[in-house]
């Protein structure tokens, strides 16, 4: 494994750069504009009644799966586009990567009030709440997928890229035939994780109350939310069982076939001793009807697409390309910059009304939450790295553990958190320990799934070489496993830190048996501002959190990410 990179990404700069400042101002402007639109929303909104009858669960499950599918489709398209542009353009990466860093760490409750209320001011209630729910599920799905695509596109082996240049492949053909296949295995694993993240925040996305506005949608999330609110333990148990069954069915009909299919894109000439199996994939691969669809529909469609999008490769070597006109982009960019500047200025004037004591309380809360995030990441890494290597290197263990891990990761910890709080209240640390536990439940799966994907992507030849050299456990870890896993581990830690910040909103502020319990932290502050409809405090807390996360990502994660793409890649 060589230590050189092809297409080196921009080196991280100490502190916040111009791109980060633009991103933060844009976030401030968006929240301010959305809050202004929200002021025109109906003062009272009454959501539909949620039935806790067992017979409602199949219908609610279908509705939730439909929203998850829509959100996943949007997330997949955006992730591929985002990762491709960031990996191929150093200029774009300077703006896109800070934006991804900030947005993936902004808690869902910072998006939720302005999204729901703004859409309800512009659209009829049922459509507005449906769109808001899908958008919010996207915010819990997209980040780790986008990071995975960017990491894969940035670490394609140099010899493969050189071969594509020798064959004069167009950008489209290089994407379809080389880059996308190389990214497939990590993307499938991160897609499974994205669904787990979507289920985790389903309760918040389907059932939400803001003052006199009661936004809710029929679904598993709202079913579990109502069961928790009413204290109906039997209904909560039925909801969790229904969710687990839904996840198991989806694992059998979607994710196991997808994992088996992704094995065909493994790098290396040697065949693995054991491969992922799926009964549905085996049935489909032997089906005559599926074969005819592939031969008569799918392949002609791909050929037509290649012809339409791959024409640049057929251009003569000395042909000149017509330069595109730049003035429309300049005009549009200028108008957007003026609008951004105006909205940011108005938002900053609004923030200036807060007292120094309020700002000090916000900074203190952010520092306390940071300590919890660090503790959760450290605990998660201690067990997920060895467990992920075991699952990734042993197919029999993976076959048994993968569906179990997916089910456990997908069960919303928010539904179980009141029980955890009650159990820990009498112990030393009490709610502080419970908050770290819930953050851990929202972070550990990001690291685990990325380690599994990284382990599964190690070429079999390197494992054979390690066996031939009779490397001991320590040398195998230091010379093969840890270097190979480093890019995936950094991806997992980046997305896990975002998950920890997100989980803080429910970890630090919880209602148990009608009584509100909270610990100091930025998550509790955001939850309190949301419950009171205090948009100024919400904007200030979100901005503080965004600046803190952007600084950490620049000073820590971006440096480690650059090192991963420069030194640790297969050649």
Q: Which of 154-163, 235-244, 308-317, 412-421 has the highest mean pLDDT?
A: 235-244
136-150 pLDDT tens trace: 888 878 877 888 888
49-95 pLDDT tens trace: 788 888 888 888 888 999 999 999 999 999 999 888 888 887 777 77
pLDDT at residue 314, rounded to an integer: 44
Residue 524 in this model has a pLDDT that exceeds 50: yes
Contact 531, 524 (CB under 8 A): no
pLDDT at residue 41, rounded to an integer: 44
Residue 45 has what DSSP assignment?
B
Residue 152 in this model has a pLDDT that exceeds 70: yes
- Find the largest Cα–Cα distance for the chain: 78
Using CA atoms, how far residue 91 sits from 88, 278, 376, 457, in Å, is 9, 42, 34, 29
Residue 117 in this model has a pLDDT that exceeds 70: no
Residue 489 in this model has a pLDDT that exceeds 80: yes
**CATH 1.10.3720.10 residue ranges for the chain:** 52-276+353-567
CA atoms within 13 A on the CB side of 153: 24
| CATH code assigned to 52-276+353-567 | 1.10.3720.10
pLDDT at residue 318, rounded to an integer: 47
Residue 429 in this model has a pLDDT that exceeds 90: no
Please state, in angstroms and rounded to a whole number, the distance separating the CA atoms of residues 157 and 5: 8
pLDDT at residue 69, rounded to an integer: 92
Average pLDDT estimate for 217-221: 85
In the numeric block, which tokens belong to residue 208? 């939400």
Contact 523, 504 (CB under 8 A): yes
Residue 507 in this model has a pLDDT that exceeds 80: no
Residue 348 in this model has a pLDDT that exceeds 80: no
Which range has the worst mean pLDDT, 64-73, 246-255, 329-338? 329-338
Please state, in angstroms and rounded to a whole number, the distance separating the CA atoms of residues 306 and 303: 5
> 308 vs 368, which has greater pLDDT?
368
Please state, in angstroms and rounded to a whole number, the distance separating the CA atoms of residues 346 and 348: 5
15-37 pLDDT tens trace: 455 655 655 566 566 666 555 54
pLDDT at residue 379, rounded to an integer: 92
pLDDT at residue 72, rounded to an integer: 93
Residue 254 in this model has a pLDDT that exceeds 70: yes
pTM over 0.75: no
Average pLDDT estimate for 320-328: 55
> 93 vs 497, which has greater pLDDT?
497
In degrees, rounded to 5, the angle at the alpha carbon of residue 523 between the alpha carbons of residues 522 and 524 is 90
Question: Which residue in 220, 252, 240 sits closest to 59, CA to CA?
Answer: 220
pLDDT at residue 116, rounded to an integer: 60
Give the percent of the chain with pLDDT over 90.
4
233-247 pLDDT tens trace: 788 888 888 888 888
Using CA atoms, how far residue 25 sits from 10, 19, 46, 347, 414, in Å, is 22, 10, 34, 9, 32
Contact 421, 481 (CB under 8 A): no
């Amino acid at each position: 494994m060589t230590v050189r990179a092809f297409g080196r990404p921009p080196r991280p700069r100490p502190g916040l750069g111009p791109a980060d400042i633009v991103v933060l101002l844009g976030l401030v402007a968006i929240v301010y504009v959305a809050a202004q639109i929200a002021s025109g929303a109906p003062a009272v909104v009454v959501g539909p009644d949620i039935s806790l009858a067992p017979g409602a669960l199949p219908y609610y499950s279908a509705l939730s799966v439909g929203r998850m599918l829509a959100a996943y489709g949007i997330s997949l398209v955006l992730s591929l586009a985002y990762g491709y542009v960031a990996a191929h353009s150093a200029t774009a990466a300077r703006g896109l990567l800070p934006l991804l860093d900030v947005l993936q760490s902004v808690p869902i409750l910072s998006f939720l009030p302005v999204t729901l209320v703004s859409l309800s001011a512009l659209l009829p209630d049922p459509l507005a709440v449906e769109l808001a729910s899908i958008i919010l599920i996207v915010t819990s799905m997209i980040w780790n997928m986008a990071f995975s695509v960017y990491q894969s596109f940035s670490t394609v082996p140099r010899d493969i890229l050189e071969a594509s240049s020798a064959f004069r492949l167009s950008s489209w053909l290089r994407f379809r035939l080389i880059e996308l296949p190389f990214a497939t295995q990590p993307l499938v694993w991160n897609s499974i994780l994205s669904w787990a993240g979507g289920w985790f925040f389903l309760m918040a996305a389907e059932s939400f109350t803001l003052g006199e506005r009661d936004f809710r949608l029929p679904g598993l999330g709202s079913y579990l939310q109502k069961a928790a609110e009413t204290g109906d333990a039997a209904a909560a148990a039925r909801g969790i069982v229904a969710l687990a069954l839904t996840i198991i069915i989806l694992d059998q009909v979607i994710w196991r076939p997808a994992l088996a299919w992704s094995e065909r894109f493994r790098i290396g000439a040697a065949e693995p001793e054991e491969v992922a199996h799926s009964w549905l994939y085996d049935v489909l691969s032997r089906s005559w009807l599926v074969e005819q669809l592939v031969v008569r529909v799918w392949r002609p469609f791909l050929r037509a697409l290649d012809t339409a999008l791959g024409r640049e490769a057929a251009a003569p070597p000395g042909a000149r390309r017509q330069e595109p006109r730049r003035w429309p982009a300049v005009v549009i960019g200028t108008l957007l910059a003026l609008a951004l500047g105006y909205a940011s200025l108005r938002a900053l004037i609004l923030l200036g009304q807060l007292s120094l004591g309020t700002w000090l309380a916000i900074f203190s809360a952010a520092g306390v939450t940071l300590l919890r995030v660090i503790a959760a990441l450290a605990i998660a890494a201690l067990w997920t790295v060895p467990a992920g290597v075991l699952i990734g290197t042993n197919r029999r263990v993976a076959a048994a553990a993968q569906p179990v891990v997916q089910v456990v990761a997908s069960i919303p910890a928010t539904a179980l958190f009141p029980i955890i709080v009650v159990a820990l209240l009498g112990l030393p640390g009490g709610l502080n320990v419970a908050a770290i536990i819930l953050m851990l439940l929202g972070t550990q799966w990001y690291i685990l799934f990325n380690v599994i994907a990284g382990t599964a992507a190690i070429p079999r030849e390197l494992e054979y070489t390690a066996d031939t050299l009779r490397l001991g456990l320590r040398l195998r870890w230091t010379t093969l496993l840890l270097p190979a896993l480093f890019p995936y581990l950094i991806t997992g830690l980046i997305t896990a830190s975002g998950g920890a910040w997100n989980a803080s909103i429910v970890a630090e502020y919880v209602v148990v048996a009608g009584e509100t319990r909270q610990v100091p932290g930025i998550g509790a502050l955001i939850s309190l501002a949301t419950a009171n409809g205090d948009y100024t405090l919400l904007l200030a807390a979100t901005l503080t959190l965004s600046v803190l996360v952007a600084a950490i990502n620049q000073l820590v994660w971006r440096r480690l990410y650059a090192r991963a793409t420069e030194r640790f890649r297969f050649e």
